[in-house]
Structures are given as structure tokens and as C-alpha cells.
Amino acid sequence: MTLPVTDTALIGTCMAAAALGVLVLSSAGGSAPLDTPAQTEATTSTQPDTADAALAQLGAQPLPDTIAVDAEFGEKVRSYLLQNPEVIFEAVAEYEMRNTASQAGMDLALIDANYDEIFNDGYSWVGGNPDGDLTLVEFMDYQCGFCKRAYPEVTDFLEQDGNVRLIIKEFPILGPESELASRFAIAVKKLAGDDAYGAAHSALIQYEGRYSPDMLTDLAVDLGLDGDAVLAMLNDDDITTILSENRALAQRLQISGTPSFIMETEFLRGFVPADTLALVAENLRE
């Protein structure tokens, strides 16, 4: 996964600060004695501290016990960085740019390797404009607060654009109620078709209470369906297979949270407002 900019910048800043610290230790007046005229060794404590633990959680690798630094070179770098600290942040920005480019390349490879399963699985609901020139795929969970926030944004985007195909991937990861709601939506689609699924999906994602058999039975009746028939299908083997396939696809795509979007070649992880979706669409069409 791509780290948020703030986290990546934090790691980069910590790395830069650590490098500066090594240079300071190795070239300042209180450093270890020189082994040779051209080289000094700075040793780090073997006792972990709070900062080490925090960096380890962010994926930073510990420094080796002994670091050899050319004293004259170290002093020059130290002096330059102290006079030009903005260089550290320029390095962080460059690191972030390279990291983003690397992640984009990885995302594209993942999409290419799983193209048919993403865009043409044959069982996921298709909405928006089925003949649109772009396809937006959403992995969602009905209990996910950000999925609920994303629903009106996606709806607005589809209405404003008018030329985007939408695919919903049921991806219940927040517990038994999430899976119950997803099974209900898929059962509705199997029993009553795409229009009924679209209505069920809209009702489920906007619902703020708990998902229970009684609630779903009432919803089925509101949709003009036989509630008992829908509930009887919830444990259907085909529905279990669909959910298993969606989970396996998400794992291959390194998706661990909802909502997660794919628009053609672009991965959009997390909540995305309508104007951002529109901007991505515009860039893809250029």
C-alpha cells in the first residue's frame, strides 16, 4: 500500500534527521577517537528507546552497531545541512515522488494481472452507464462509515459525468453483520435482477442501524420481494463463492480496507470525493 503523504514524509524526515545525527556524532567535538586520520567510528546504543520503537513500527531498519564515516567529509556535510536545512525537506519531497511513482507502477501491474476479475467477472452488479467509456470499481462494506460517506459522492460523480460504468464488489470485512448485508444484496440480485439489487444496495448503504434478519425481511418487503425467499437464499453456495472470489481478488490487489476504488488504471484507496473522481476521469481521458 501507498503510505499517506504525511506518514511517508515523517519517515523521510526521520531518516534524514537520523543521517544528520550520525554525521553530527561522528564529526562533532565529542565524537569517538579517530582510528585513522581519515576515519572515525560512531557506535549506537544497543538499548532500544522510544524513538527506535516508533521508527521500527514505521518500517525503518535499525542502524548497524558500528558506522564508519570519513571525518572530514562528515564535517562538511554537517556544516552544509546546518546552513541549508531546507535540503532535508527537498530530499523528503524527492523520496515521496519516487515512492509514489514506484507504487503507481506496482498498482498498474496488479491491475493488468487481474484485469478480467476486476472488470469482467460476470457476477458483480453493474450500474451507472453500462456502455460508459470508463469503468469505476468499488470494493465496499455496508458497515463502513467511509463507504457510507462515499455513496453520495459516487452517485454525484456518476450523475455529473454520465459516461462511467460502475461495478460494485461486495467486500464484507467488518464482521458478521457486514457479511449478512452483502449476502442479502447478492441474494436480491439473484432472485430479482439488477434493478432490485440497485435499490437494495442504496437502502443498505444508507441505513444507520444494525443489520439483522428482521430488518432485512422488512427491507425485502419494501422492495416488493418475498422476505422469506430472500433470507432462505443467504447461505447459497453461489453467494459464498462470490464473496470468496472477491476476498481473494482483494488480497491479490493488496486491498485491506474499504472503500477502495479502481478507475481503469488508477488505484484510489480510501474515501474519495466527487470532484477528485471527476479529476481522475478527466486525466484518464486526456
Q: What is the pLDDT, as a whole number, of residue 81?
A: 80
Question: Which residue reads 455513496 in cell numbers?
Answer: 151
Q: What is the pLDDT, as a whole number, of residue 258?
A: 96
This prediction has a pTM of 0.66
Contacts of 38 (CB under 8 A, 6+ apart): 70, 71, 72
| Selected residue with higher pLDDT from 139 and 37 | 139
Q: What is the pLDDT, as a whole number, of residue 122?
A: 94
Give the helix ranges, DSSP H, for 44-175.
Answer: 50-57, 71-83, 86-113, 115-119, 145-161
Q: What is the pLDDT of residues 6-59, one digit of tens each?
A: 444 444 545 555 454 544 444 444 433 333 333 333 333 334 455 455 445 545
**Rounded to the nearest 10 degrees, how much is the dihedral formed by the CA atoms of 170, 175, 177, 182?**
10
Q: What is the pLDDT, as a whole number, of residue 89?
A: 73
What fold, for 115-285?
Glutaredoxin (3.40.30)
Q: Report residue 261: phi and psi, to 5°.
A: -120, 150
Q: Exposure of 256 by Cβ count < 10 A (0-12 exposed, 13-18 middle, 19+ buried)?
A: exposed
Q: What is the pLDDT of residues 182-228, one digit of tens each?
A: 999 999 999 999 999 999 999 999 999 999 999 999 999 999 999 99
Q: What is the pLDDT of residues 56-107, one digit of tens each?
A: 554 555 555 565 667 788 788 888 888 877 767 766 766 666 655 556 678 8
Q: What is the pLDDT, as a whole number, of residue 80?
A: 81
Q: What is the pLDDT, as a whole number, of residue 42?
A: 37
**Maximum CA pair distance of the chain?**
88
Q: What is the mean pLDDT of residues 121-137?
A: 97
Domains of the chain, by residue range, sit at 5-106, 115-285
Q: What is the pLDDT of residues 227-245, one digit of tens each?
A: 999 999 999 999 999 999 9
Q: What is the pLDDT of residues 155-185, one digit of tens each?
A: 999 999 999 999 999 999 999 999 999 999 9
